[in-house]
A and B are shown apart, each in its own frame.
Chain A
Amino acid sequence: MLAAEFTDFMQQVVSGLASGGIYALLALALVIIHRSTGVINFAQGEMATLSAYIAWALIVHHSWSYWPAFAATLVISFVGGIGIHTAIIRPVERGSVLRIVIVTIGLLVAINGFVVWQWSGEPQQLQSPFGTDVYDVGGVVVAAHDIGTITVALGIVLLLGALFRFTKVGLALRAAAVNPEEARLVGVRVSWMLGLGWGLAALLGAVAGMLTAPTVGLDPNMMAAVLIYSFAAAVLGGIDSPIGAVVGGLLIGVLLNMLSFLSQYGMFDWFTEELRLPMALLLILVVLLVRPQGILGRPEVKRV
């Protein structure tokens, strides 16, 4: 009997990791844009959704096969991200934080509207690059897609780490974000670097979108819920830390499933399904208050 319960428990952990992998991917995109431009992009989720729809349109309406469509979507998203920065973000970059926040919210609303307008609000299906195989590990079922998602997230962390640490572009990206004036003095083309940051974030968002859609279903609002959990993940891990975003995402996924699982056995019996989202957000508040730099971030040094 206990064995059966342990299996159920592990299944909940696996299911939490699967959700967490999704939160982690979008959180990575949030982290990269914050790290390279200092902005929190509220439109990140909708940009990812649009990318997923582009991949879907290529496959369904233009009969492309999966991988070319995947690659083309990455390119389009990267260019699109730079385009968004040039056309929409740059004009307000020097203004108050609030203006940028509102511009990204405007972008969120417009992209969401556009997706519904062009492809209607009906759900669609996007295939997984990892297939639909599942593995049975001692009664606990693990899906190939979920393993793939988490692996990709970790792979991205390594790539980003290498980019920021070992390449000149990475250094310039960081310099442009941390201190644009001094970066300009030493010859960094700051606006190019900020654009590049947006391009990278859009590209990561495209990966997030294409890996999220097979699980939650391709839908104009598929990222609305994910985005909020991803905010929580990014803050929990430290909003400038790629590895923190992944750890934060997985932690949140597992933690919420644990609460829900244990509430069946009388522990945390105040927890009901309604509290899933509020709990994640409470976590944001607590982390921000106790350790604003997140579990894996470095404290921010305030300049006077």
Chain B
Amino acid sequence: MTPREQRIFGFVVFAAFAVFVLVLPQFISDFRARDYAYVGIYLIALLGLNILTGYTGQISLGHGAFMAIGGYTTAILMAGNEQFGGPIPSGVQDIWTLPVAGLVAGLVGLAFGLPALRLSGLYLALATFAVAVAMPSTVKRFEEYTGGGQGIQLFGLPELTGSNAVASGEDFSAPATFELLGLTFTQNDWMYYLAWSIALVAFAGAWLILRGRTGRAFRAVRDSETAAVSSGVSLARYKTLAFGISAAYAGVAGGLFAIASAFVNPDTFPIALSIFLLVGIVVGGLGGLSGLVVGAIFVAFLPLWAQGQDLGSVLPDSVIQGDTISIPILGDFLFKGTSAPGGPAIVYGIVLILLMFVLPNGVGGLFRRIGQLITNRRYSRAK
């Protein structure tokens, strides 16, 4: 394919995907729409992280912290912090907090990008890891702004769109609907469309940034800093820019995350979140965008899937029936299934390791290889 054909092909695929996203809620249960809203939210964060890590080559193990900044910005603007003795009144409608969340996180990202200039590789990973680990304690320290460990409750606030939704009929736990702009939404559908409209815009935005001059500069920094400098690319400028853009994406995702959970506290942005995000871009494929959709699905659903697995099902019957096997030293080994405490973590960890074995370039790499196969066939046919 010529570059022009490729662009048209890419555009068609994107348009088809957008239509798919638009109609999907019609074919799934109301609650599923909520699950997929989280996929959209993670996708936004992964797009941002991939700009930094996949395209510019800077590892961040701390993107959960930028999500936390966005999440807290949204929550504080909506609920205010006067209830904890802080200065900010409540009253900003949820969707209008999102640009602010992105902006605040983006500025912090730019500021962090400056010192990060001096670090590379594993050292940067460690530094960002430190930021994410320190975040929950820091939030607790400034209780009058953040509500401390108790967190900020958003559910039921008038600032939360759709909080006045009511269920029709006897069953109050049935999907409740509300009107907005002349359309009828359930809360879950609203969350889905909100998350995905932003995700699609974010996707297009990332694509535009990466295909131009800036994107080329990012890739030059990733491939060889020395070469980049000698061809006139300013490391300081592009590294901090990548940090800023990336953090802004994470901030918006964090704001949406706060809206979707209708609650934030320090435990809602644990270090595990930062790690999940990194896993998400590696699964999705570093330095590609389309694979990230799969990465986001992975981040949203793997922990849930891991709980449903019974390790016993791959073992002989006698073992499943609560029989014990004696293993030297470890003691009697009882197959309890993964719903037992600790079980989901075993499955999750093993899947993570196996994925790194079988998909070294992530799903994006797989997509590209399939793409190449198709192209090659076309060319060979043309001959």
Q: Which of A39, A103, A118 has the most CB of B within 10 A?
A: A118
Q: Are A57 and B226 CB-contacts (below 8 A) given A109-B348, A281-B133?
A: no
Within 8 A of A (CB), among B22-45: none
Known: A88-B353, A109-B349. 16 other contacts (CB 8 A): A92-B360, A95-B356, A101-B125, A102-B352, A105-B352, A109-B352, A110-B346, A114-B345, A114-B346, A116-B345, A117-B343, A274-B140, A275-B137, A276-B137, A285-B127, A288-B127
Interface string of A288-299 (1 = CB under 8 A from B): 110010000000
**Interface membership of A19, Cβ < 8 A:** no
Known: A102-B278, A106-B356, A281-B130. A117 touches B342 (CB 8 A): yes
24 contacts between A and B (CB under 8 A): A95-B356, A97-B122, A97-B125, A98-B59, A98-B286, A103-B356, A106-B356, A109-B345, A109-B349, A110-B346, A113-B342, A113-B343, A113-B347, A113-B348, A114-B346, A116-B345, A118-B342, A220-B342, A275-B141, A277-B134, A278-B141, A288-B123, A288-B127, A292-B119
Considering only residues 83-119 of chain A, those with a C-beta below 8 Å from chain B are 88, 91-92, 95-99, 101-103, 105-118
Which B residue sits closest to A304, measured CB to CB?
A: B226
Residues of A within 8 Å of B121, CB to CB, are 97
The reply to whether A40 and B126 form a contact with Cβ atoms under 8 Å apart is yes
Q: Are A54 and B133 in contact (CB under 8 A)?
A: no
Distance in angstroms between the alpha carbons of A103 and B353 in the assembled complex: 5
Q: Is the CB of B119 within 8 A of A113?
A: no
Check A40/B131 contact, CB under 8 A, given A103-B356, A113-B345.
no
**A217 CB-CB contact with B under 8 Å:** no
Interface residues of A (CB under 8 A from B): 39-40, 54, 57-58, 61-62, 72, 76, 88, 91-92, 95-99, 101-103, 105-118, 120-121, 220, 228, 231-232, 235, 272, 274-278, 281-282, 284-285, 288-289, 292, 304
- Contacts A107-B353, A113-B342: A97 and B329 contacting too (C-beta < 8 A)? no
Q: B334: nearest residue on chain A (CB-CB)?
A: A118
Number of A-B residue pairs, CB cutoff 8 Å, is 154
Q: Which B325-383 residues have C-beta < 8 A from chain A? A: 329-331, 333, 336, 340-353, 356-357, 360
Q: A118-B330, A281-B131 are in contact. Are A292 and B118 (CB under 8 A)?
A: yes
Pick from B278, B341, B350, B353 the residue with the most CB of A within 10 Å: B353
CA distance A228 to B133 in the complex (A): 8
- B residues adjacent to A (C-beta < 8 A): 53, 59, 61, 115, 118-119, 121-123, 125-127, 129-131, 133-134, 137-138, 140-141, 226, 275, 278-279, 282, 286, 329-331, 333, 336, 340-353, 356-357, 360
Write the chain B residue with the least CB distance to A61: B331
* Cross-interface CB contact of A76 among B61, B130, B329, B356, cutoff 8 Å: B329
Task: Please give, as numbers and ranges, the residues of chain B lying within 8 Å of A116 by CB-CB distance.
Answer: 341-342, 345
B336 and chain A: residue at smallest CB distance: A117
A277 CA to B340 CA, complexed, in Å: 32
State how many angstroms separate the Cβ of B356 from the closest Cβ of chain A: 5
Task: Closest B residue to A120 by CB, please name it.
Answer: B341
Q: Please, which residues of chain A bring their CB within 8 A of the CB of B138? A: 274-275, 278
Residues in B whose Cβ lies below 8 Å from that of A61: 331
**In the complex, what's the smallest C-beta–C-beta distance from A227 to chain B, in angstroms?**
10
Contact call B134/A231, Cβ cutoff below 8 A: no
Q: Is the CB of B279 within 8 A of A102?
A: yes
Give A235 to B344 CA distance when docked, in angstroms.
33
* Chain A residues positioned under 8 Å from B341 (CB to CB): 116-117, 120-121
Cβ-defined partner of B352 (8 Å) among A106, A285, A289: A106
Question: Which chain B residue lies CB-closest to A117?
Answer: B342
| Chain B residues in 8 Å Cβ range of A120 | 341
Q: Which chain A residues border B357 with CB–CB below 8 Å?
A: 91-92
- In the complex, what distance in Å separates the CA atom of A232 from the CA atom of B126? 9
